[in-house]
Amino acid sequence: MNSSGDAKTKCDVSFTVNGEVKRLRVHPMERLLDVLRNELGLTGTKEGCGEGECGSCSVLLDGLLVNSCLIPVTQADGSNVVTIEGIAAHSLLHPLQKAFLECGGAQCGICTPGMILAAVHLLEKKPEPTQAEIREGLAGNLCRCTGYMQIFEAVTKAAQQRVVR
Amino acid sequence: MANSKEGHIVGTSAPRKEGRDKVTGAARYVDDMVLPGMLYGATVRSTTARGKIKKISFDPRVAWDEFVVVTAKDIPGQNCIALILDDQPCLAAETINHPEEPILLLAHADRHKLRKAVEAVSIEYETLPPVHTLQESEKQSTIIWGADNTFKTFLVEKGDVDSVWKDAAHIVEGEYFTGAQEQLYIENNGVIAAFDPEHGVTVWGSLQCPYYVHKALMALCGLPEDKVRVVQMETGGAFGGKEEYPSMIGGHAALLAMKSARPVKIVYDRMEDMVATTKRHPSRTRHRTAVSKDGKILGGEIEFVIDGGAYATLSSVVLSRGTIHAGGPYYWPSVRIRTRAMATNTPPHGAFRGFGAPQSLFAMERHMDRIAEVVGISPIEIRRRNFLKPGQTTTTQQTIHENIDLDQLLSRALELSDYHAKKKHFAVENKTRARKKGMGIATFLHGAGFTGSGERYLNSLVGVEARADGVVRVLVSSAEFGQGTNTVLCQIAAEALNLPYENVVIAQPDTTVVPNSGPTVASRTAMIVGKLVQSAATGIKHTLAEAGLLSEDYTPEQFRAACREYLAAHGPLKSEVRYEAPPGVYWDDEKYRGEAYAAFAWAVYVAEVTVDLTTYSVTVDDFVALQEIGKVLHPVLAEGQITGGVAQAIGFALYENVVWQDGRMVNNQMTNYIMPTSADLPPIRVFFEQNGNIHGAHGAKGIGELPMDGPAPAIVNAVEDAIGVRFHSIPLLPEDLFHALEEEPPVASSSLPAFTRGAR
Interchain pair A149, B675: CB under 8 A: no
B434 touches B755 (CB < 8 A): yes
Kindly state whether B186 is in contact with chain A, defined as any CB-CB distance less than 8 angstroms: yes
Q: How far apart are CA B29 and CA B186, in angstroms?
A: 12
Which residue from B227, B412, B454, B447 is spatially nearest to B327, judged by alpha carbons?
B447
Question: pLDDT tens across B239-265, in order?
Answer: 999 999 999 999 999 999 999 999 999
Asked if B115 is an interface residue toward chain A (Cβ–Cβ < 8 A), one would say no
A66 forms beta bridges with A59
pTM: 0.96
Cα B12 from Cα A73, distance rounded (Å): 46
At residue B164, φ and ψ (nearest 5 deg) are -85, -20
- Mean pLDDT computed over B75-89: 97
Closest CB to A145: pick one of B111, B644, B677.
B644
pLDDT of B452 strictly over 90: no
Q: What is the pLDDT of residue A7?
A: 64
Query: Which ranges in chain B are annotated with CATH 3.90.1170.50?
Result: 33-128+184-276
Tell me which chain B residue has its CA closest to the CA of residue A42: B25
Three-class SS of residue B253? Answer: helix
pLDDT in tens, B378-399: 999 999 999 999 999 999 999 9
Query: Taking CA A111 as the corner, what is the angle to CA B115 and CA B682, rounded to the nearest 5 degrees?
Result: 125
Backbone angles phi, psi at B390, to 5 degrees: -50, 135
**In this structure, is residue A48 part of a structural domain?**
yes
CB B290 within 8 A of CB B164: yes
Is CATH 3.30.365.10 correct for B283-451+593-751?
yes
The complex's ipTM? 0.97
Same domain, A29 and A99: no
Domain count, chain A: 2
Q: What percent of chain B has pLDDT over 70?
A: 97
Number of H-type helices and E-type strands within chain A:
5, 5
Position B3 confidence tier, pLDDT thresholds 50, 70, 90: very low
Say whether A127 sits in a helix, a strand or coil: coil
pLDDT over 70 at B213, yes or no: yes
What single letter denotes the amino acid at residue A156?
T
Report pLDDT digits (tens) over B89-99.
Answer: 999 999 999 99
Name the nearest CA neighbour of B69 among B294, B355, B264: B264
In the predicted model, is pLDDT for residue B280 greater than 90? yes
Of residues B238, B269, B637, nearest to A50 (C-beta): B269
* Rg of chain A on CA atoms, in Å: 16
| Residue B709 CB contacts under 8 Å (≥ 6 apart), including other chains | B325, B354, B357, B358, B361, B442, B444, B446, B603, B649
* Percent of chain B as helix, strand, coil, to the nearest 5: 35, 25, 40
List, as ranges, residues 7-66 from A with C-beta within 8 Å of B.
37, 42-51, 53-54, 56
Strands B335-343 and B121-127: what pairing?
unpaired
Domain limit, last residue, from A34, A69, A86: A86
Instruction: Establish if A1 belongs to a structural domain.
Output: no
The b-or-e profile of A128-164 (16+ CB within 10 A means b, else e) is ebeeeebbbbbebbbbbbbbbbbbbbbbbbbbeeeee
Asked, for residue A17, whether it belongs to a domain, the answer is yes
Q: What is the pLDDT of residue B751?
A: 36
Mean pLDDT of A10-32: 97
In one-letter notation, the amino acid at residue B746 is: P
Q: Is A79 in the same domain as A119? A: no
Q: A15 and A69, same structural domain?
A: yes
In this structure, what CATH number is given to the domain that contains residue A125?
A: 1.10.150.120
Contact status of B683 with chain A (Cβ, < 8 Å): yes
Question: Beta-carbon neighbour count of residue B626 at 10 Å?
Answer: 25
**What topology is assigned to B33-128+184-276 in CATH?**
Aldehyde Oxidoreductase; domain 3 (3.90.1170)
Does residue B699 sit in helix, strand or coil? helix
A146 CB neighbours in chain B (<8 A) are 640, 643-644, 647
Domain stop point among A86, A104, A123? A86
**Residue in B111, B128, B96, B95 with CA at minimum distance from that of residue B41:** B111
Domain B4-29+460-578 -> CATH class: alpha beta
Q: Would you say residue A80 lies in a domain? A: yes
List the single residue in B with minimal CA-CA distance to A88: B24
CATH code assigned at A18? 3.10.20.30
* B26 and chain A in contact, CB less than 8 A: yes
Judgement on whether residues A119 and A153 belong to the same structural domain of the protein = yes
CA of residue B658 relative to chain centroid, distance: 18
Instruction: Count the neighbouring beta carbons within 10 Å of the beta carbon of residue B374.
Output: 18
The alpha carbon of residue A107 is apart from the nearest alpha carbon of chain B, in Å, by: 4
Phi, psi at B434, each rounded to 5°? -85, -15
User: Phi, psi at residue B384, to the nearest 5°?
Assistant: -55, -40
Q: Write out pLDDT tens, residues A46-86.
A: 999 999 999 999 999 999 999 999 999 999 999 999 999 99
Answer whether B645 sits within 8 Å of A147, measured CB to CB: yes
Q: How far is A78 from chain B (nearest CA, A)?
A: 24
Residue in A83, A103, A111 closest to B636 by CB: A103
How many C-beta atoms lie closer than 10 Å to residue B63's C-beta?
10
Q: Give the model's pLDDT for residue B122.
A: 98
Residue A1's pLDDT is what?
42
Does a structural domain hold residue A2? no
Size of interface A-B (CB pairs under 8 A): 172
- Chain B residue numbers with beta carbons less than 8 Å from the beta carbon of A142 are 186, 670, 675, 677
- pLDDT for the residue B743: 75
**What's the pLDDT band for B613 if we cut at 50, 70, 90?**
very high
What was the pLDDT predicted at A3? 45
Residues of chain A contacting B192 with CB distance shorter than 8 Å: none
CB-based contact, A68 to chain B, within 8 Å: no
The whole-number pLDDT of residue B581 equals 87
Judged by DSSP in three states, B335 sits in: strand
Rounded mean pLDDT, B429-458: 94
Question: Which chain A positions have a beta carbon within 8 Å of B186's beta carbon?
Answer: 46, 48, 54, 56, 108, 110-111, 142-144
Torsion region of B724: left, alpha or beta (phi above 0 gives left; psi -120 to 50 gives alpha) = left
Are residues B683 and A149, on separate chains, in Cβ contact within 8 Å? yes
Cross-chain residue pair B110–A4, CB shorter than 8 Å? yes
Flag whether residue B647 sits within 8 Å of chain A, measured between CB atoms: yes
Are A137 and A120 found together in one domain? yes
Structural domain containing residue A135: 95-164
Give me chain B's average pLDDT, please. Answer: 95
Residue A51 lies in a domain: yes
Backbone torsion region of residue B662, taken as left when φ is above 0, otherwise alpha when ψ lies between -120 and 50, otherwise beta: left
Residues of chain A contacting residue B269, judged by C-beta atoms under 8 Å apart: 50
Answer whether residue A63 is part of any domain. Answer: yes
